[in-house]
Amino acid sequence: MKAITHTDFHFPGQVSRYVGKVRDVYDIDGQYILLVVTDRISAFDVVLPKGIPCKGQVLNQIASRFLDLTADIVPNWKIAEVDPMATIGLMCEPFKVEMVIRGYLAGHAWREYCAGKRTLCGEPLPEGLRENEKLPRPIITPTTKASEGHDEDISREEIIASGLVSAEDYAQLEKYTLALYQRGCELAAQRGLILMDTKYEFGKKDGKIYLMDEIHTPDSSRYIYAEGYEERLARGERQKQLSKEFVREWLMANGFQGKEGQQVPPMTNEVVAGITDRYVELYEHITGEPFHRYDDEDIVRRIEKNVETFLAEES
């Protein structure tokens, strides 16, 4: 299958196109935002040289599903999933922080813990924790949203003091983040999974806070299998996970962490196919539905046609 790593559409009313790490973002009439979720993949804030077939569809369809399943908690930006790889929604002014929430000690938090840190974004971490162990309570560990380079950990106090978010808005973001994570954990548990950590992005429109972008996807979240979790934890074994962390682990094992002078290891066809399979596996586990691969379509043309049809109906 061919990976879709680039789009350059020219839709009626299009004002601009912004290319992010994974998404191509189209401004339509200053009213709508169209997110085309490409098959690009990033790790350590670096876009890797090869795309992953099916990845964009997996991310878009999972995010679309969870936006619908959490709309009773917080209003979100989605208007319609116009294509398996594209969603159109309200244009919001994004907050310049990402709300990361962790229920377990894993990934970046574990690496910081191993380095001797016992406070993360102002949140204390007790001594004696093991990798992947459940925390006494979920903690919110925000990061800055860097337009280039690495996102940085930041505390609640620093966010408010710097004026990135007002105290009133931040208190609401915390409430939404905790409620969304609880819902995500409940939905994951129904499918035999544990949602270890995740992140949310929010924005404002007409003075109202909206949930934006993706939610509970393998790029924004860390899932592991619930079955055997306690046994693997007790034995100090790796957890069986379904998230992008396995990509980071493969990169680290091959000497790459996004640091200056490091080279991305060769992405063979076998490596790429293996990553696709992991994304499809997560889709089928978290949704309980079979994944449909569009092997025989001109996907870029399909996206263009579907978006144009939607815009024509809205005009």
Both 98 and 67 in one domain: the answer is no
Q: Both 231 and 117 in a single domain?
A: yes
Residues 54 and 101 in one domain: no
Q: Which residues contact 110 (CB under 8 A, 6 or more apart)?
A: 131, 132
Structure tokens belonging to residue 107: 């990934």
Residues 127 and 204 in one domain: yes
The verdict on residue 255 lying in a domain is: no
Specify the range with the lowest mean pLDDT, choosing from 142-146, 202-206, 223-227, 266-270.
Answer: 142-146
pLDDT score, position 244: 79
Q: Which two tokens stand for residue 219?
A: 């790029």
Mean pLDDT of the chain: 94
Mean pLDDT of the 261-268 span: 92
Q: What is the 3-state secondary structure (H, E, C) of 44-96?
A: CCEECCCCCCCHHHHHHHHHHHHHHHCCCCCCECEEEEEECCEEEEECCEECC
Q: CA 5 to CA 56: how far, in whole Å?
A: 9
154, part of any domain: yes
For residue 146, is pLDDT > 80? no
Same domain (yes/no): 209, 233:
yes
CA-wise closest residue to 281 among 233, 241, 221? 241
CATH number for 198: 3.30.470.20
What pLDDT sits at residue 241?
80
> Phi/psi zone of residue 163: left (φ > 0), alpha (ψ -120 to 50 degrees), beta?
left
Looking at the domain assignment, is residue 87 inside a domain? yes
Residue 25: predicted pLDDT? 96
Total tally of structural domains belonging to the chain: 2
Does pLDDT of 314 surpass 90?
Answer: no
Question: Final residue of a domain: which of 209, 243, 277?
Answer: 243
Burial profile 100-130: b = 16 or more Cβ within 10 angstroms, e = fewer: bbbbbbbbbbbebbeeeeeebbbbebeeebe
Judge contact between 202 and 266, C-beta under 8 A: no
The rounded distance, in Å, linking the Cα atoms of 100 and 108 is 11
Residue 245 pLDDT more than 80? no
262 is a domain residue: no
Q: What is the average per-residue pLDDT within 40-63?
A: 93
Residue 45: its pLDDT value, please? 83
Exposure of 80 by Cβ count < 10 A (0-12 exposed, 13-18 middle, 19+ buried)? middle
Residues 151, 205, single domain; the answer is yes
pLDDT at 149 over 60: no
Residue 167 has pLDDT above 90, yes or no: yes
Mean pLDDT of 123-136: 97
**How far separated are the first and last CA of the chain, in Å rounded?**
35
Residue 163: inside a domain, yes or no? Answer: yes
Q: Which residues pair with 23 in a beta bridge?
A: 37
In the chain, % helix, strand, coil (3-state, to 5) comes to: 35, 25, 40
| Whether pLDDT at 12 is above 70 | yes
Closest CA to 57 of 81, 83, 36, 85: 85
Same domain membership, residue 239 and residue 157? yes
pLDDT tens track for 80-91: 999 999 999 999
CATH number at residue 22: 3.30.200.20
What domain range includes position 223? 94-243
C-alpha to C-alpha distance for 36 and 56, rounded to whole angstroms: 8
Do 274 and 202 lie in a common domain?
no
Among 30, 18, 17, 22, smallest CA distance to 5 is for 22
Same domain, 80 and 197: no
Region at 79 (left for phi over 0; alpha for psi -120 to 50; beta for the rest): alpha
187 part of a folded domain: yes
Do 303 and 276 have their domain in common? Answer: yes
Residue 30 sits at the vertex; the CA angle it makes with 25 and 35, to the nearest 5 degrees, is: 20
Q: Which of 8-17, 74-83, 236-245, 264-273 has the lowest mean pLDDT?
A: 236-245
Identify whether 308 is part of a domain. Answer: yes
Is residue 99 located within the same domain as residue 223?
Answer: yes
Confirm whether 161 is domain-assigned. Answer: yes
**What are 201's strand-pairing partners?**
212
**Residue 1 pLDDT greater than 80, yes or no:** no
Q: Alpha carbon of 294 to those of 40, 70, 95, 310, 312: distances in Å?
A: 17, 28, 35, 21, 25
Q: Are residues 125 and 237 in the same domain?
A: yes
